């Protein structure tokens, strides 16, 4: 809209992070406009901010809403389960998008997300990473919790790094659960929460396992970084895990203080792995 002050556009999926991004942008003096994806975004999270809802396949509506509110810079944030093509019900723009990205629409998530970011650029938007707006959400290197991993847990973390790298290399998932060298579960389309539920049912007697989450090799970091939060720690505790290790600088932590408190309350460790070494030397 000509003459209207520019706003930060937020394309919002599920969880609390879209609201935190909007609050941080406002605190920095920026206007915001949020497009909530129907079936994913929480209306209560979006309520304090100018917003509208659109289904995933309504690409033309999403574009027009963002343009009408003078959004040029755009953040994609929040959890979204990849829909089937039947669920997408693409409008004319979305159909052209699917035609342009071709086979990546049917492959892994990262190829699709990279293509979406590219096409949004062609439509005149600049997609930026969440960390550009919410710097404190990015997990740092080192031990954040009171508890620390022992040698056995570190061995499980190293095994988890190997497995997570392999998963990410074929664009399957971002994490896994390892206990006593045994891979109990790997993350795929079901997401971290469901993976943790499965891992709990498969836990072996003895020292508990660890959750390892890494950025996929070549991942589109502006659209789908690994995310942890207090709920992750709660579910990890219910799965009898000893702790969580994540790639520092590439993992978002929703409400860091609450996440650390949740780890401490359960006696679990929370460890940021140095991306240069992937955690094989810890900073404690």
Note whether 209 and 245 are within 8 A (CB): no
Given 104, 132, 160, which residue is the final one in a domain? 132
pLDDT, tens only, 157-167: 999 999 999 98
User: What pLDDT sits at residue 191?
Assistant: 84
- From its phi and psi, is residue 73 left (phi > 0), alpha (psi between -120 and 50) or beta? beta
**Which of 14-28, 39-53, 92-106, 138-152 is predicted with the least confidence, judged by mean pLDDT?**
92-106
Of residues 37 and 86, more confidence is placed in 37
- Say if 282 falls within a structural domain: no
Pairing of strands 51-54, 227-228: unpaired
- For the segment 182-237, what is each residue's pLDDT rounded down to a tens digit? 999 999 878 898 999 999 999 999 999 999 999 887 766 776 788 899 999 999 99
Residues 164 and 185 in one domain: yes
Please give the residue range of the domain that contains residue 110. 7-132
Domain finish residue from 80, 112, 132? 132
- Domain CATH code at residue 76: 3.40.50.20
Q: What is the CATH number of the domain that holds 180?
A: 3.40.140.80
Percentage of the chain modeled with pLDDT above 70: 81
Q: Tell me the two tokens of residue 84.
A: 């089937």
The pLDDT of residue 278 is 67
- Please indicate, yes or no, whether residues 266 and 151 belong to a single structural domain of this protein: yes
Same domain, 161 and 93: no
Do residues 203 and 228 share a domain? Answer: yes
Q: Are residues 97 and 158 in the same domain?
A: no
Collect all residues with Cβ–Cβ distance below 8 Å to 170 and sequence separation of at least 6: 108
The answer to whether residue 280 sits within a structural domain is no
Domains identified in the chain, total number: 2
Please enumerate in sequence order all residues whose Cβ is within 8 A of that of 62, keeping only pairs 6 or more positions apart, or say none. 11, 35, 54
How confident is the model over 109-153, as pLDDT tens digits?
445 556 666 777 788 899 898 888 888 889 999 999 999 999 999
146 and 249 share one domain = yes
Question: Percentage of residues in the chain with pLDDT exceeding 90?
Answer: 55
In a shared domain, residues 193 and 244: yes
């Amino acid at each position: 809209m000509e003459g209207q002050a520019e706003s930060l556009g937020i394309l919002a999926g599920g969880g609390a992070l879209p609201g935190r991004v909007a609050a941080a942008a406002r605190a920095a003096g920026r206007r915001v406009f949020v497009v909530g994806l129907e079936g994913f975004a929480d209306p209560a999270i979006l309520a304090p901010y100018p917003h509208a809802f659109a289904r995933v396949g309504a690409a033309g509506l999403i574009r027009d809403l963002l343009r009408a509110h003078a959004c040029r810079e755009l953040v994609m944030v929040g959890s979204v389960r990849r829909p089937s093509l039947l669920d997408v019900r693409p409008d004319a723009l979305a159909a052209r998008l699917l035609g342009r990205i071709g086979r990546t629409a049917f492959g892994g998530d990262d190829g699709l997300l990279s293509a979406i970011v590219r096409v949004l650029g062609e439509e005149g938007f600049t997609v930026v990473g969440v960390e550009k707006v919410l710097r404190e959400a990015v997990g740092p290197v080192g031990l954040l919790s009171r508890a620390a991993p022992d040698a056995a847990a570190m061995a499980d973390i190293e095994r988890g790094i190997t497995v997570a790298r392999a998963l990410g290399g074929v664009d399957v998932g971002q994490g896994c659960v390892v206990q006593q060298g045994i891979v109990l579960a790997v993350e795929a389309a079901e997401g971290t929460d469901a993976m943790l539920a499965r891992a709990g049912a498969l836990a072996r007697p003895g020292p508990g396992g660890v959750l390892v989450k890494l950025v996929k090799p070549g991942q589109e970091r502006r659209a789908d970084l690994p995310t942890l939060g207090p709920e992750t720690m709660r579910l990890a505790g219910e799965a009898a895990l000893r702790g969580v290790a994540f790639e520092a600088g590439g993992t978002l932590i929703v409400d860091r203080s609450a996440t650390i408190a949740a780890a401490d309350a359960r006696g679990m460790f929370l460890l940021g792995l140095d991306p240069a070494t992937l955690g094989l030397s810890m900073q404690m």
